Every structure is written in C-alpha cells, then in structure tokens.
Amino acid sequence: MNFLEVESLSKVFGGVHAVEDLSFDFQAGAVHSIIGPNGAGKTTLLNLLTGIYSPSAGRIRFEGQDLTGLAPHEFARRGIARTFQNLQLFFNMSALENVMVGRHLHERCGLASALLRFPRLSREELACREEAAELMRYVGLARYLGTAADAMPYGALKRLEIARALATRPRLLLLDEPAAGLNPTEALELDQLIGRLTGRGVTVVLVEHNMHLVMGVSDHILVLDYGRKLAEGPAAAVREDPRVIEAYLGSAAAARNLGAAGAAPRAGIGP
Amino acid sequence: MSAQFVQFLLTGLTVGAIYALVALGFSIIYNASQVINFAQGEFVMIGGMATVWFAAAGVPYAAAIPLAVAAAAAVGLALEKFAVEPARGASVVTLIIITIGASIFLRGLATLIWDKQLHVLKPFSGDTPIVLGGATLLPQSLWVLGVSLAIVLALAWFFGRTLLGKAMLATSNNRLAAQLAGIRVRHVLALAFALSAALGAIAGILIAPIAFTSYDVGVMLGLKGFAAAILGGMGSGAGAVVGGIVLGIAETMSAGYISSAYKDAIALLAMLAVLFFLPSGLLGRRGTERV
Amino acid sequence: MAARFATPRAGGMAALAALIALLPLGLRNDYFYDVAILVGLNAIVCVGLNLLVGYAGQISLGHAGFFGIGAYGSAILATRYGWPPLAAMLAATLAAAAIAFAVGRPILRLRGHYLAMATLALGVIVYMVISTEDRFTGGPDGMTVAPLAIGGWALRDPRLWYWVVGALLLAAVWFALNLIDSPTGRALRALHGSEVAAEVVGVDATRHKVMVFVVSAVYASIAGSLNAHFSGFITPAKVTFLHSIELVTMVVFGGMASTFGAVVGAAALTTLPQVLTPLKDYEMMVLGAVMMGTMIFMPRGVVPSLQALLTRRRDAAAAAAAPAPRPGDGQ
Amino acid sequence: MLEVEGLACRYGRIPALKGIDLRVAQGELVSLVGANGAGKTTLLRALSGVLPTWAGQVRFEGADITALAPERRVRLGIVQVPEGRQVFGPLTVEDNLRLGGYLRRRAEAGRALERVYAMFPVLRGKRSEPAGTLSGGQQQMLAIGRGLMAAPRLLLLDEPSMGLAPRLVEEIFACVRSLKAEATTIFLVDQNARAALAIADRAYVLETGRVVLEGSGHDLLSNDQVREAYLGL
Amino acid sequence: AQEPIRIGAFLSITGPASFLGDPENKTLELYIEKLNAAGGVLGRKLQLIAYDDAGDAEKARTFARRLIEQDRVDVIVGGTTTGTTMAVVPLVESAQVPLLSLAGAVVIIEPVKKWVFKTPHTDRMACEKIFADMRARKLSRVALISGSGGFDKSMRGECLGVAKKAGIQVLADENYGDRDTDMTAQLTKIRNTPGVQAVLNPGFGQGPAIVTRNFRQLGLKMPLYQSHGVASKEFIRLSGEAAEGVRLPAAALLVAESLPASDKQRPVVVGYKREYESRFKSEVSTFGGHAYDGLMLAVEAMKAAGSSERAKVRDALENVRGYVGTAGVVNMSAKDHMGLDLSAFRMLEVRKGDWTLVP
Ligand SMILES: Nc1ncnc2c1ncn2[C@@H]1O[C@H](COP(=O)(O)OP(=O)(O)OP(=O)(O)O)[C@@H](O)[C@H]1O
Ligand SMILES: Nc1ncnc2c1ncn2[C@@H]1O[C@H](COP(=O)(O)OP(=O)(O)OP(=O)(O)O)[C@@H](O)[C@H]1O
Ligand SMILES: [Mg+2]
Ligand SMILES: [Mg+2]
C-alpha cells in the first residue's frame, strides 16, 4: 500500500486542462517536490489533493482510503494539511489564535459545552493554547505570540501558515511556494525547518521555484508541464534531464550550477 | 385564454422593465465600488418628485426632466463625496449602513422640501391603450420598455467597449492597482454615483405617470430593484435587465395564475430556487477567484 | 494567560449586570421601563445576530422573520389555542430553530450580497404569510396576545418585566461570550477570515454556519415571543424587511464582532427615535445624519472604536514599538 | 532624475520610513535590498503617490512632485509594478493590459500590447480569460506586462521575480537589462538580492525604514554584512 | 397661570399610512392653535403633544405610555390605523384615559371598551352602504380587489362578512401589494370571471388609483366602487379621466359646497374645508376631518363635564348627543362609542372630475 496514490487525475476548467491524466505514488517519510513552469498545474494539483477542487476524472487514495470527492475538511480529518501560494490567513485574529484554529479537529467541543462553558473546556483551551504557542516557537515565531495577524511581516506570515498546518497534526503536509518573498537567508531557515519536519514523521510535498531549496531537501522530484508528468526521480537525475532544463530550468549553465548544490551558495536562483 | 396570457406577459414586461432600471443603478455603483447602495430607491423618488415639482412651477417637461435628472445626479455626487468617500476602507457592511442612513436622510429631506402627498405626471404620449393580440398596453409602458432597452445597450457598450468603463470595473476590484495604472479613482467613483443616480431618476420619471410618486416610493422599488439585480447577477448589466424582467413576469404570472395574495412570495421563492442552482445569479460572473 | 483573557469578559458582564441593576434609579415611570424593556429585547436579538454577522461574517437581512416566527408562534398558540405561554414560547422557538436549520444549508452556501438577498427574501416570505393568513394572525391589523402567565399568575407590570428581560439579556450575553471564546467560536471567526483556510484545517464550514444561523434564529425567536407577550399586541410591522435592516443596523452601529457593541447598538437605536421626537419634521433627517456620521467617523462601530481610542490613550507612550498591521497578499 | 530627500511615511501612528535620502540618475538601474518589513514596498508606494508622505520631498526631473496625485505621476512616466501582483481579477487578461496603457493613445497602446504578448506568449493564449484564474506566475507576468504598457520612463519594480520559474526569472532579468538599454530608468526591489545587485549600477540597503548602506552593485555584493544578512552566505 | 389642558396624539405621520396621518396631524395643529386663539377651553389653554408612530403598533404603544405616564395628557386622539389603535387599547383601559381613535375597523368599538371611542364610520358601514347602492342598481355579483394593508384587509373581511345578508355574491377576491405598480393581472382575471357585474376595491393610497386606471385601460365597462379610504380630491387627480363614474361612500365633507343649505352639516364641513385648504394649500380629505371630529368631541365633552378630568370627560363623551361633525351627526351611548349611522355616509360619484352626490 502506497502512502499517497494518484491515479489518472484530471482537472478541466472550461477548455483548460490544468491537470491531465496524472498518476504518481508518494512514499511516506520523504520530501517530495513538485516543480514545473508557471501554469503547469502545481497549485491545481494541491487543490485537488486537499479537496478544494473535485477532480474531473481520476482517483486520490491516501493511506489506502479513497478520498476522491470529499470536502476539504474531510481531507484535513484524514491527516492532510497545506499552506497556500497566496496567503490565506485569518487576518481578523491574533497569530496565536490562527494556530489554535488549526487544532480544531482535535478538540471535543459541542454546542452545549461551548454555550455553557463546561470546566473541561477551559482546561482543554489552556492545553490548546499551550500547544499552539509551542508550535509557533517551533517555526520560529516566538516573538509574535500575541501579535495580530494583520500586523506581521510577510515572511512571518508564511511561517504562520506552516504552524497552523502543523497544528492539525498532519501526516502529509503540502507547501505551496513557501519561500516566495523570502530572502535567501530566510529561505535557508525554511530548509532547516523542512528537515526537522521529516524528522517528526511528517511527509512533505513541496511546490517551489527556489531550486536551491528544492534540490537541497528533496528525496524525490515530480516535474509537471501542461498538467502532465514531464519527469520524475531523484534530484540528481531530474536536474540533468534535458527536457526539464528546456521547459523549466532554462540555460544548461543554470542547471549545471545547481549540480554543485551542496557547496554552492544558496542564494540566487537566476543567472 | 391566450389573450389573458399575453396580457400577463405585457404587464410583466412593464413591471419588469421598471425593476430593471432600478437594478441597473445598483449594478453601476456596485461595479465601481462594491457598495450596495441602499439609497438607490431615493434617486427614483427624487427623479419623480423633482419633475413634478418643476412641472408644477411651470417648467415644461422638456426642461423639467433634464433638470430633475441633474438634481438626482448632484445628490448622487454629494452622496459619494460626503458619505462614501470619507468612509473609504471601511467594511462593506459599514458602507451599506451609511447608504441606509443616507436613504433615511433623503426621505426626510423630501418630506421637508416637498410633501407626503402622492403625485402624478402626465403620460408622455397620452393615455389611450394600445391593443396587442387582445391585450392592452399603455403608451407609457412602451416608453419604459424603450428607454430601458436603450439604456441597457448604452451601458453594455460603456462597460464592454470603452476603457473608461473598464476603468470603473478595475477601480472597484483593486483601487491600488487602478491608481498605479493612472486611473483617477475619485473621478471614476464620482462618475459612477452620478450615473447611477441619473439612471434611478430616469426610472422614477418614467414610472411616475403609471404608478405615481411620493416621498417614499423608493423603499419598495429599491427592494425590488435589489432583488432583480441579485437574480440577474450583481454587477452584470444584462443580468440586471434579465433579472428585472424575470421578476416582473414571475410576479404577474403568479398573480394571474396562482394567487395574487402570494405573488411576491412566489416570485421571491422562484428567485431563491434560481440562486440555489446558480449562486451568483442568472448572468453573474463566476469562478474568477481561486486560491 | 487564561486570567488575562477572562478579565474583559468578566469585567464586561459585571458592568452590564451593574448597569441593569442600577438603571431603575433613573427610570422615572412606566414609560421609561417600557423603553428599557424594548432595548433589552432588541439587544437579545442583536447579540444573537452579531454571532452570525459579526463573528461568522454571514449577513442576514431576514432576522425579523425569525423574530416574527417567535412572536406569532407564541401568540397564536397561547391566544388562539390556549397553550400555556411558556409552552407556546418553547414550541415557537423550536419551530424557528427547525426552519433555520432547514433553510440554512442551501441559503448559507450563498455569499455576500447574494446571501443578504436570500435572507431578505426569506424574511419577506415569512412576513407575507403572517400578513395574509389573517384567520390566525389577524393580518396587518395585528392580534391581541395573552399575557405571559405562569400557572395562574400573569406577568403584567412593566417593572417586573424589566427584571425578567434584564436577566435574560445577561444570560444571552453570557452564552454568546462563552460561544465566542470556545473552539467553536474560534472556528466561526476563522470562517469570517478565510473560508478555504478554515476548511483545510478541518472546520466543517457548512455545519458551523448552519449552527450559528440556528443559534441566532433562536435568540431572535425568543425575543420575539417575549415582545409579543409583553406588548399584548403584535402586528406584522415587526416582521417587515425594514425591521430586519434595523436590526443589522444596530449590530453594525454598536460594532461588529463585539457582543457588548450589539447591546450598545440596540440601546442607541431604540432610544434615539424617542429622543428625537421634539424635532418633529426634522426627525428623519437627523436620524439619517446620525447614522451616517457615526459610521463615517467610527467605521468599526461605536464600541470597538471607543475601545481603540481608550487603548491608544493608555499606551500612547509605548506606541512606537508596536508592529503595524499589513494587508495580506494582493489576491 | 529622481531625488528623494528626508522622506518619511507612516501607517497610522507607526513610522515605516524615517527620513530616506536617495537619487536615481537618468538611465540608471538602482536596486534596493532589505529584509522583510524594512519598508521597501512602502518606499515605492510613496514614490508612486498612493501613500501620503509625512515629511520630506520627492523631486522628479527637478520638479517637486511630493503632493502630486498618482495618476499625474503615471503621466510623467513614473510607473510601478506592485508587489503581490494586484491584477484585476474579474477582468480579462487583455483588459488588464489595456488598462495599463490607460493614459496612452490607442495606437501606441496597441503596439505596446503586441510587445508584451511577444515577451510573454502565455498571456496571448489567455487573453480573454479572467485574470483571476491565472496561475500565480502567470499573474506576475501580467503585472509586469501591465506596467510596461504605460511606457515607463522611471520603472519601479517591486519583487518582479516572485513566484516565477527559474527560466522566466532569467528572462525577466534579461528584460530588465534590455529596458535599461532602451534608456528606461529602473528602480528595482527583489528578494533575489544576488541577481538584483549583480545587474544594478548602484544599490541601497534599507533597514527598518532607514538607508543604512549605499554603493555600487558590485561593492555591495562583496560587502560582508550584506552577504550575511541578505545573501545567505 | 392655569395648567394647560393636554391633548395627546399618536399618529402615523410617516410610513405607509402617512396618507392618513399627515392631514390628521395638520388638522390637530391647526385647530389647537385656533382654539387657543379663541381663548382656549374652560379658560385654559390647550397643549398638543403629538408623536409619529410611523404605523408601527409597538411604537404606538410606547408613545401612548409616554403620553399617559410622562406627558400626563388628559385625553388621547389617535391611532391612525386599526393596528396602532388596538395595540394601545389595553393600556388606556388600564390607565383609564379616554381615547378617540381615528381608525376604521369595527373591532375598535365592538365589543364596547369603556375608554375607547372612535370618530370615523366603520368599514362595515361602508360595505353596507356600497352593497345597498349596488342592490339599488340591480348589481348582485361582484368581484373584490383589495390591497394588502390593514385598512384594505379589514374592510375586505367585513364586506365578505356582510355580503350574504345584503344579497351580494362575491365571485372573485383578488389582492395587490402595498406598492405595486400595476394591477392589470388581477383585473384581467376578474374580467375573465364570468358573471361579474361590479368591482369593489377596498384600499387607500395609490393602489385604488392604479386599479382605477388599469380598469379603464383593460376596457372594463362595469361599475367600479371604491371605498371611503380614497375620500379626497387627490384620488381624482391621480386617476385622471379613468375616475369618471367611480362611486364611493364618504362623508359630507367631500361635497361640502354642494350640500343643500338646509343640511345640518353644511356649516361645519364648509368651515373646516376652508380653514384647512387656505392654511395648507392642499385639498381636504375625510381623514383630517376625523381628527377634527376627535378633537372637537373631546372639547365638547370637556365643556360638558366642566373639567378635563379623565373620568368625567369619558362620561361626557359617552353622553354626547347631536354633535355635528364632519363625519355626520354623532349620538354616543353606552352601547355605541361611535355614534354614527348609515345616514352619515353619502354615496358619491365622480363626474367631470369632481365628486357629486348620488341622489
Ligand atoms: N479556477 C480556475 N479557472 C480557470 N483556470 C484555472 C483555474 N485554476 C487554474 N487555472 C488554470 O490552470 C492552469 C494551472 O494553474 P496552476 O495555478 O495550477 O499553475 P501552477 O503550476 O501553480 O503555476 P505557478 O507556478 O505560476 O503558481 C493555469 O493555466 C491556470 O490559468
Ligand atoms: N498597510 C499597512 N498598515 C500598517 N503597517 C504596514 C502596512 N503595510 C506595511 N506596514 C508595515 O510597514 C513596515 C514596512 O513594510 P513594507 O511592506 O514596506 O516592507 P517591505 O520591505 O516591502 O517587506 P517585504 O519584503 O515583506 O515586502 C512593516 O513593518 C510593515 O509591517
Ligand atoms: Mg501555483
Ligand atoms: Mg515589500
């Protein structure tokens, strides 16, 4: 049984095949990256994998269960969490509360107990608050505990989304361009964070254009182009693939530059 | 039997065209500012009442009507300048409450300047009914239908073909980006309010000979116009018209064939049914937002 | 940390309780009691409506409908069929909850203005039924309602009513504050912030929206029943869409997402027309101008704006250090 | 061409810029680097006039434009590609671009449109789709294209490479270089600090609303402080 | 100086019934001023305290309580509508304040309530008057088309109730909304109902005028009856030529000047009409007349009682005999708190753009 199985998945918008007949298997405990040109269908794929879109065709199986056609909160219940390419935060709340919402699935709270404020609830609230604070420290947001979400800088917000996703205690975490808008120094911290996550037993799927990050952390890379699979394999193989260079990486020089990923500066992704 | 059906249809069209005109006013302001202007009905009132007033003062119709439309447009401008613009950045609900306040204010003002009586305008081309397939229609209804049609076409052209029209849409969607593109957003907003006030006033003038006018005609027409705009799809010009006509016909048909006591309820139920299947109305924009 | 969060609510509750307890010192005669009771009843509706509008971000322009279901349900059962008023009230409340539950699912799929119109339509339909079925409801001229009797003893004196409504208002506020502070309340606010994001962390958006819709309908219905029994007479004027809009206005005026704001809004807009009567012909204009002016200068509503003003005063010195809000990503 | 003196801006009571002095000469490419929240976006917004200035002066070609309305600045040729794309979601791709050329004559705008399509062929394929349905990177291309439609003389670019595929990032920087070659003055903010410094004639480093360092692109690239704080080295 | 006599009023000056409440309010203001100019009543000045309930029963009740508790008025005039009046009845009954209602429905005085009186004719009387006229014209099969307001619905109910006794058969029963702009659908249905000989339209405001115009537009030839709810010149102005031939029952006020000199009401109605029209530059309606009657009855009663004491005024009101008002000659009794009979209603017909008496 594979951890995540995707079978001839398609999504059509009007005439656009954003994802077309896509099949792949992801193994547990690894970091899988999905790369591909702009508009290749990466975000759409994540939307399918979290139930935000329902597929035009195909199936999604997670830990052996067929999740096709379920609502997003059902995906979350099964252990899949994500972040967004465009921030989707609760800007009407504090940072800490944002993360606490992530604990929603693990709280037993009926309407009656909410209205009457059972003592049990207060205790659980305290625990929830503590755990959320812990997660914020974990992603490096210790200094923003009481801050309103709408008063935080962009880089912090990106990490806040990760903390919130972690609060759901996912087994599969999908990150959509977490490094966009971060400077190279901050991207480096992200690199380490992803490493620690896998250590926690979370399987990570990373969608990213920052090749240093991708090449550095991925166990396995899936390359999409026009909604289809272009290539797949370990980082070293993918970066040498001429089709990938042609469609995505650009000049062969850039690709070669990445070849020395370990030693090379982790900064620029351009020339 | 079929003459009866034709009669219902014609009546529905006339009533619907009125709703459509009011709905168009809602759509324009919504397009330029995302505000649902609950004072839209008051423009209808101002149009009718001002025309009556000018006419009573001896001004011929040909001058009284443009004067009344201009008066309404001026009120629209004032509304934008003194009530909507100062609240820029406030939430949509706050803006709605501001327009509700404005509508109460304007209604109060109307009772002071004018009165609480009902007034009537002379029909533009007489009172003799036109017979069509056994059914009758007042010439004034033709005016309503004709002017609505002309306005819809003009607006379709304006929003669909002119850059200024697009600039209006852009302003409502993203004010910052609109400014960066060199659009004078204040002017665009002012224009939208003036335009929609003028449209409301025209609606008010056209229907005053049929359904009279008074300081409080705006309340019910505003409600029906809002319903029509939603049914058709908020922000869509063609939608406003389709929504208005569908609503008008639904009302008359249910009055004619089902129950006149419940005709409004039936029309609203029909609207709800449509929304359940088309959550953004008959012709509303769909699916332009994604994550 | 828990203590820090308990303070404003406990403080607020205490202040409200003290206000209710001390207010009678200023109430000179039954007329004042009458107005105070109406304030209380409107406040109950608004506290419930604020859960829906202010916290969950779902606008409703049809809550006068639920108010009407409560009022007429209770009135008809108690007056025409001789039910004990409390049983009638309970039945009406259940009916309002059931109706809200039934229509909530399809209606709450709609967003923004579409939701506003759909709820408005719902309210208008309730109104039409009430004003047309005059055999039961007395039609537009209204109907007489039996007083609230418990056993053989009828509650008639406005001064007693005052304490009943005051106690119920406190309870209503307490329940609302509890709900907001619970995980459920947090989920509701999250829905307001971003529905997709709430969904992907496991919040069942539809279930939560329907739930809060039902809760707010129950608040409105109970207030409606009480109002009918208190007035002794009820007409459909209380069920019109104008009344729905008035209720939302109270909520926004006092301050969205502020339970005490809802109370303040209800108090302000219930007493304002009483205060403005000497203005005669200018009354409407002034009322409209007050509404516009308040919302322009306090766009977040009276209570949150005043709160912000107070906190600003307090830490004016420490201001510079505070991080500033920034908008989210463009789209 | 552009002179900024003592520029200060606030959000409410909170200062975001605290007295900025900088110059951009005709035909120059100047980069601005800084951490998250340093105030780079704020500075560009102030230059475009969409954010009121609190103190200080902005001069463009000698004329004081501190109080000039945003659309007047666009008319002068000060054009910004904003951070976070900010496309008009419900409008079609083509309408978005045409609005970029709002102040230009029809024929000129038509030619500019062709240039943008030539540069980003994807956009041509999606010309009648609502911009809101584009992918993140496609929207970024659209935002850049919309800026170019206005015939900029001073182009303010706020994170133009964000969310773009490596291949396109190369192209964007190539495009920036060619614009410079066509005598467009450019003021560039990009998180890809290495690339941004590499192509810059001169650069400024911004820290919590103040310019803390200034020099040629090359010098800054080899500055130790910069390397550690912004280049991840 | 002596305490003024306080007259309280709650009227629907705005809202859907402003059509009625506005002239009522104006009339009260006008006559309080006149009475005071003439030296007041019982040597005391009169003070009017009037509130606008906007047609809302809840507001009416609160204002009534305010009048009683806060303003301590001696007598209350008002309740423009049946709903607002009925909402206040329990209050005045328990506070023991005389109330002179200006609303039409029978329920206000039937059963008799100790403290409640009313000045206009009842809607049941209007139905009886109309049906009698129909019978005289040999019309017995009628269609009803009524509005959705309280007045309309109440009268519709009364007419349906008394139809059988009057030998009238109601073949169709249609409705229209408060602010509808077109009633051709309903009228088309009536036209296609076989056997209809006449149409009756209970209602006030713009609805009846639209019905009248649509009626002509559809080419309907049968007689059209309106109710006393449109008893003002305004109706004719709004309906234009379509109003020709329309009949309705109304008080003498509408035909003041064409009353024979022998008519007892003539001086009263001519006087009121002239006063009102010269002051407000708009035409009188019978609604203003109701307020006139209410105020004058209260004054009569105070004079008769020699006091403004609530209980005495009430007793005096119940004993009013032969008071000539705009609505007719009032003879109150313990069983009848309105004191009008069918003779007070005149059947009018619109001819050449004016009301004329049907002999
Ligand atoms: N809701 C939608 N409606 C219409 N088209 C859509 C929608 N969502 C995505 N698309 C189209 O599907 C294609 C894939 O988009 P997607 O956002 O998945 O790309 P991506 O791989 O995430 O690109 P990027 O790297 O630029 O973010 C694009 O061409 C886009 O225009
Ligand atoms: N709309 C706003 N309201 C209040 N404060 C704001 C607003 N926008 C930005 N700020 C604050 O102003 C400061 C500067 O922000 P700015 O967006 O200019 O930074 P930046 O350098 O562009 O950062 P980034 O790299 O994240 O884009 C930050 O502290 C930020 O939190
Ligand atoms: Mg993407
Ligand atoms: Mg920035």
* Ligand 1 and D6: CB distance under 6 A: no
Q: Give how far C296 is from chain E: nearest CA, Å.
A: 27
In whole angstroms, give the CA distance from residue C265 to residue C62: 18
**Interchain contact, A164 vs C201, CB within 8 Å:** yes
B290 in a structural domain:
no
Q: What does the block give as tokens for A112?
A: 């009656």
Q: What does the block give as tokens for B209?
A: 């000979």
In whole angstroms, give the CA distance from residue E102 to residue E28: 12
Q: What does the block give as tokens for B228?
A: 């029509």
Closest partner CB to C139 (pick from E61, E89, E150):
E150
What pLDDT score does C327 carry? 37
pLDDT digits (tens, 9 = 90+) for B71-86: 999 999 999 999 999 9
Torsion of CA A82, A87, A90, A92, to 10 degrees: 170
What pLDDT score does E266 carry? 93
The string of DSSP letters for D87-134 reads: --TTSBHHHHHHHHTTTS-HHHHHHHHHHHHHH-HHHHHTTTSBGGGS
* CB distance C165 to C225 below 8 Å: no
CATH code of the domain containing B100: 1.10.3470
Burial of A69 (0-12, 13-18, 19+ CB in 10 A): exposed
Determine the distance from the C-alpha atom of residue D137 to the mean position of all C-alpha atoms in its chain, rounded to a whole number. 17
- The residue-averaged pLDDT of C317-327 equals 41
A106 in a structural domain:
yes
Pocket test for ligand 1, best of D120, D128, D134, D161 (most atoms within 8 A of CB): D134
**Interchain contact, E57 vs C38, CB within 8 Å:** no
User: Which residue's CA is the nearest one to ligand 2's atom 30?
Assistant: D37
What pLDDT score does A2 carry? 84
Tally of CA atoms within 13 A in the half-sphere of D132 that contains its CB: 16
Chain E residues with beta carbon closer than 8 angstroms to that of B16: none
CATH code of the domain containing A143: 3.40.50.300
* CB distance E102 to E13 below 8 Å: no
Q: What does the block give as tokens for C293?
A: 């002016």
> Closest-lying ligand to the alpha carbon of A45?
1
In whole angstroms, give the CA distance from residue E146 to residue A43: 60
What pLDDT score does C8 carry? 67
- The rounded mean pLDDT for chain A is 87
User: Which residue's CA is the nearest one to ligand 1's atom 7?
Assistant: D133
3-state SS, A12-60, equals EECCEEEEEEEEEEECCCCEEEEECCCCCCHHHHHHHHCCCCCCCEEEE
What pLDDT score does A194 carry? 92
Chain D residues with beta carbon closer than 8 angstroms to that of A178: none
What length is written for chain E?
359
pLDDT band at A254; cut points 50, 70, 90: low
Interchain contact E/D (3 or more Cβ pairs less than 8 Å): no
- The residue-averaged pLDDT of C164-176 equals 96
Tally of CA atoms within 13 A in the half-sphere of B231 that contains its CB: 30
End-to-end C-alpha distance for chain B, whole angstroms: 54
User: Which residue's CA is the nearest one to ligand 2's atom 26?
Assistant: D36
Give the C-alpha distances (Å, rounded to integers) separating A4 from A73, A121, A145, A175.
18, 35, 34, 16
What pLDDT score does C330 carry? 33
Q: Which atom of ligand 2 is found nearest the CA of D43?
A: 18
* CB distance E224 to E349 below 8 Å: no
Chain C residues with beta carbon closer than 8 angstroms to that of A178: none
B289 in a structural domain:
no
What pLDDT score does C321 carry? 40
- The residue-averaged pLDDT of D110-124 equals 93
pLDDT band at C315; cut points 50, 70, 90: low
Chain C residue closest to D82 (CA)?
C330
What pLDDT score does E301 carry? 96
Number of compact structural domains in chain B: 1
Closest partner CB to C288 (pick from B89, B105, B112):
B105
Least confident segment among A64-78, A153-167, A256-270, E178-192: A256-270
Interface test with C, best of A101, A129, A166 (most C CBs within 10 A): A101
* Ligand 1 and D133: CB distance under 6 A: yes
pLDDT digits (tens, 9 = 90+) for A184-233: 878 888 889 999 999 888 999 999 999 989 999 999 999 999 999 999 99
Ligand 1 centroid – CA D134 distance (Å): 5
The answer on pLDDT for C319 being more than 80 is: no
Contact residues for D229 (Cβ-Cβ < 8 A; gap 6+): A185, D35
Chain D residues with beta carbon closer than 8 angstroms to that of B182: 70-71, 74-75, 102-103, 150
**Interchain contact, B101 vs C196, CB within 8 Å:** no
Closest partner CB to C194 (pick from A88, A107, A116):
A88
What pLDDT score does C150 carry? 85
Q: Express as a percent the part of chain A with pLDDT over 70.
A: 92
**Interchain contact, C233 vs E70, CB within 8 Å:** no
The answer on pLDDT for A271 being more than 70 is: no
- The residue-averaged pLDDT of A133-161 equals 89
A86 in a structural domain:
no
Map out the domains of chain C as residue ranges: 8-243
pLDDT digits (tens, 9 = 90+) for D121-161: 999 999 999 999 999 899 999 999 999 999 999 999 999 98
Contact residues for C110 (Cβ-Cβ < 8 A; gap 6+): B275, B279, C118
**Interchain contact, D11 vs C325, CB within 8 Å:** yes
Number of compact structural domains in chain A: 1
pLDDT digits (tens, 9 = 90+) for B33-62: 888 999 999 999 999 999 999 999 999 999
What pLDDT score does E350 carry? 95
In whole angstroms, give the CA distance from residue B35 to residue B99: 9
Tell me the residues of chain A between 93 and 132 that have a Cβ less than 8 Å away from chain D.
none
Where do the H-state alpha helices sit in A83-229?
A: 95-101, 111-116, 119-138, 154-167, 184-199, 211-217
**Interchain contact, E148 vs C131, CB within 8 Å:** yes
Name residues contacting ligand 2 (CB within 6 A). Answer: A 153-154; C 323-327; D 11, 14, 16, 34, 36-42, 83
Residue-level pLDDT, tens digit, chain E, 359 residues: 688 999 999 999 988 888 899 999 999 999 999 999 999 999 999 999 999 999 999 999 999 999 999 999 999 998 999 999 999 999 999 999 999 999 989 999 989 999 999 999 999 999 999 999 999 999 999 999 999 888 899 999 999 999 999 999 999 999 998 888 899 999 999 999 999 999 999 998 889 999 999 999 999 999 999 999 898 888 999 999 999 999 999 988 988 888 898 899 999 999 999 999 999 988 888 999 999 999 999 999 999 999 999 999 999 999 999 999 999 999 999 999 999 988 889 999 999 999 999 87
- The residue-averaged pLDDT of D108-115 equals 94
The 10 Å CB-count burial string (b at 16+, else e) for A230-260 is bbbeebeebbebeebbebbbbeeebbebbee
pLDDT digits (tens, 9 = 90+) for D31-61: 999 888 889 999 999 999 999 999 999 999 9
A73 in a structural domain:
no
Residue-level pLDDT, tens digit, chain B, 291 residues: 588 899 999 999 989 998 998 999 999 889 888 889 999 999 999 999 999 999 999 999 999 999 999 999 999 999 999 999 998 888 888 888 999 999 999 999 999 999 888 899 999 988 889 988 888 989 999 999 999 889 989 988 998 899 999 999 999 899 999 999 999 999 999 999 999 999 999 999 999 998 899 998 999 899 999 999 999 998 888 899 999 999 999 999 999 999 989 999 999 999 999 999 998 899 887 666 777
pLDDT band at C4; cut points 50, 70, 90: very low
- DSSP element (H, E) containing B180: helix B175-180
> Across-strand partners of D208?
none
Q: Subunits touching E (CB < 8 Å, at least 3 pairs)?
A: B, C
Query: Which residue in the block uniquely carries the two structure tokens 């979370």?
Result: A202
Chain E CB within 8 Å of residue B127 CB: yes
Ligand 1 centroid – CA A190 distance (Å): 25
Q: Give how far C232 is from chain A: nearest CA, Å.
A: 31
Chain D residue closest to B285 (CA)?
D90
Chain B residues with beta carbon closer than 8 angstroms to that of A84: 291
The answer on pLDDT for C323 being more than 80 is: no
Map out the domains of chain D as residue ranges: 89-150
**Interchain contact, A90 vs C184, CB within 8 Å:** no
User: Which residue's CA is the nearest one to ligand 1's atom 25?
Assistant: A38
Q: What does the block give as tokens for B273?
A: 């049914």
Going through chain B in order, the beta strands assigned E by DSSP cover: 130-132, 135-137
What pLDDT score does A30 carry? 92
A9 in a structural domain:
yes
Chain C CB within 8 Å of residue A112 CB: no
Pocket test for ligand 2, best of D9, D40, D159 (most atoms within 8 A of CB): D40
- The residue-averaged pLDDT of D179-202 equals 90
* CB distance A71 to C199 below 8 Å: yes
In whole angstroms, give the CA distance from residue C3 to residue B12: 63
Chain C CB within 8 Å of residue E51 CB: yes
**Interchain contact, D90 vs B169, CB within 8 Å:** yes
